[in-house]
A = this chain, B = another copy of it.
């Protein structure tokens, strides 16, 4: 804090000034819960289809819409999953940024995905993407979404890494920066388990079903479809609704969700 006390903070964004460009595949006001689910280069990416399937079962497709972002390394793990992703779910890749843009009036994918989302869930979060988030790097689609994030909308991170990666002092540094600077982010603390590499120790991704529980408690299914959205959704450009449930709203503090304390 003391270190950057002398620079004036960038001006706050007046929310009313946001207008909507609306990507065709990303309808804003359909009353559904919009979950942006991202996977990074950890073996735990093989759990992503399970998370998707369970969310679809709990909310039913009429009340939830899911978009997936993969980093390039994450994509290599998807074929090793027990089941494929449902065919209806769109997977966004880095190349989509550029294939969707050619002139000034075209929508910008990382901006449209951020506008659309009521929640970003990164599960699993690799050590590398954690470092990029804490350092503000944004050299791919996922980190561009995160760097351009609207602080009024929550982000959940579920780290998954080798024990030594997790106990490396830089992990603590990165989590501290997130805690100090980005109170819209909640970190779902890893658990101790036998990891893919054979080691036993801290760093395993929280159980995928627990992660789904956290989403469900943040966004209770009975609240969907959002009535106000549906009423207003006749092509009228409007702000993205705040989907803060009591659980999320108000405190303004990052919570390191500890599995033991739940």
Interface residues of A (CB under 8 A from B): 1, 3-4, 6-7, 9-14, 17-21, 43, 46, 76, 79-80, 98, 101-104, 107-108, 111, 114, 127-128, 130-132, 134-139, 144, 147-151, 161-176, 179-182, 192, 196-202, 256
Residues of chain B within 8 A (CB-CB) of A135 are 131, 135-137, 170
- Complex Cα distance, B92 from A55, in Å, reads 41
Contact partner of A200 (CB less than 8 A), chosen from B19, B139, B179, is B19
Contacts of A197 in B (CB 8 A): 21, 107-108, 111
A39 shortest CB reach to chain B, Å? 16
Q: Which residues of B contact A169 (CB under 8 A)?
A: 181-182
How far does the Cβ of A18 sit from chain B's closest Cβ, in whole Å? 6
Q: Which chain B residue shows the least CB distance to A16?
A: B200
Q: Which of B4, B6, B20, B148 contacts A198 (CB 8 A)?
A: B20
Further pairs besides A18-B199, A131-B136, A148-B162: 5, Cβ < 8 Å: A6-B179, A80-B103, A111-B198, A131-B138, A169-B182
